[in-house]
Amino acid sequence: MQISAAMVKELRERTGAGMMECKKALTEAGGDMEAAADQMRISGLAKADKKAGNTAAEGVVSIKVSDDGKRFAIVEINSQTDFAAKAEDFVGFVSAVTDSVLNDSPADVDSIVINGEPVEEVRKSLVAKIGENIQVRRFATGETSGALGEYSHGGRIGVVVELEGGDVSLAKDIAMHVAASKPVCIAEEDVPAELLEKEKEILMAEAADSGKPADIIEKMVQGRIRKYLAEVTLVGQPFVKDPDQTVAQLLKAAGASVKAFHRLEVGEGIEKKEENFADEVMAQVRGAE
């Protein structure tokens, strides 16, 4: 049976696959549109499973806030390359996932639903279409009675800050600060005990090499611990837009406090595999043959 251009166009619109791939599927199916579409879906899901082992450390952090400014969603979605992260289909997927998180407040990534379909099925279809591993890695969502501020740095770092008191403008300034200064937590009492103990052990070991008496070493370590706490806590850090005052001083002057902050950075904590670009291109070419 002769495969017409109209048939190829219809299958391409239904599957989102390339023209030559659609023509090949139709030829193998003897012109049966449904059989060709089914086979391409099976083949696409198989490709998606094969891509699952590839490192996805690029991508985007997406933020959306409800119209009333009280609810938010911040999501990290990863791709293998920055090029794929800019593709129209990827951008649409990111928007749909973020909308779902904002509107439905799912319990976890697996619970996200897009237009009635589990996110995993939508993700696999996207992987088959784009040809790269795509992962919905993590998200945060919530609702507040205070002021919400958001800040995005090139789509790679996203921050949402929840304030008690203050206003949206202040919350956005604090969000910008969090993006730049990367605090571990809000205040000293929030620093994880294991993190503080680990830092103290390191400082004790360093101070011991000084040869000073034990009481002097203890005072040295306590001083360095105070400095460390100021560096890792939001309220202890110098405010990025005015380093002459701390964030705590800024908040106090505005009669505000930080209830919570959420900071996501693309690929944070993911071990990236260094690859030769030319070899990567050749590998993709061979895979398409």
Tokens of 7: 């048939």
Confidence category of residue 282, pLDDT binned at 50, 70, 90: low
Residue 77 has pLDDT above 80, yes or no: yes
Residues in contact with 141: Cβ distance below 8 Å, sequence separation at least 6, in sequence order: 71, 72, 73, 74, 101, 102, 105
Residue 157 has pLDDT above 70, yes or no: yes
Confidence category of residue 46, pLDDT binned at 50, 70, 90: very low
pLDDT at res. 45: 46
H runs (alpha helix) in the chain: 5-15, 19-28, 33-51, 82-85, 88-104, 119-130, 168-181, 193-208, 214-232, 247-254, 277-288
For the chain, residues classed under CATH 1.10.8.10 are: 5-48
Residue scoring higher pLDDT (167 or 32): 167
pLDDT at res. 167: 96
Give me the sheet containing 157-164, strands edge to edge: 147-153, 157-164, 257-265
Which residue is associated with the tokens 């049976």?
1
Domain 5-48 annotated CATH 1.10.8.10: yes
Confidence category of residue 18, pLDDT binned at 50, 70, 90: low
From its phi and psi, is residue 155 left (phi > 0), alpha (psi between -120 and 50) or beta? left
**Nearest C-alpha neighbor of 167 from the set 145, 151, 147, 149:** 147
Residue 284 has pLDDT above 70, yes or no: no
pLDDT digits (tens, 9 = 90+) for 113-150: 999 999 999 998 888 888 888 999 999 999 999 999 99
Residue 278 has pLDDT above 80, yes or no: no
How far, CA to CA in Å, does 149 sit from each of 76, 107, 175, 205?
18, 23, 6, 41
Residue 44 has pLDDT above 60, yes or no: no
185 forms beta bridges with: 233
- CATH of the domain spanning 52-143, picked from 3.30.479.20, 3.30.450.20, 3.30.420.40, 1.10.760.10: 3.30.479.20
For the chain, residues classed under CATH 3.30.479.20 are: 52-143
Residue 48 has pLDDT above 50, yes or no: no
Residues in contact with 229: Cβ distance below 8 Å, sequence separation at least 6, in sequence order: 188, 191, 196, 236
pLDDT digits (tens, 9 = 90+) for 172-189: 999 999 999 999 999 999
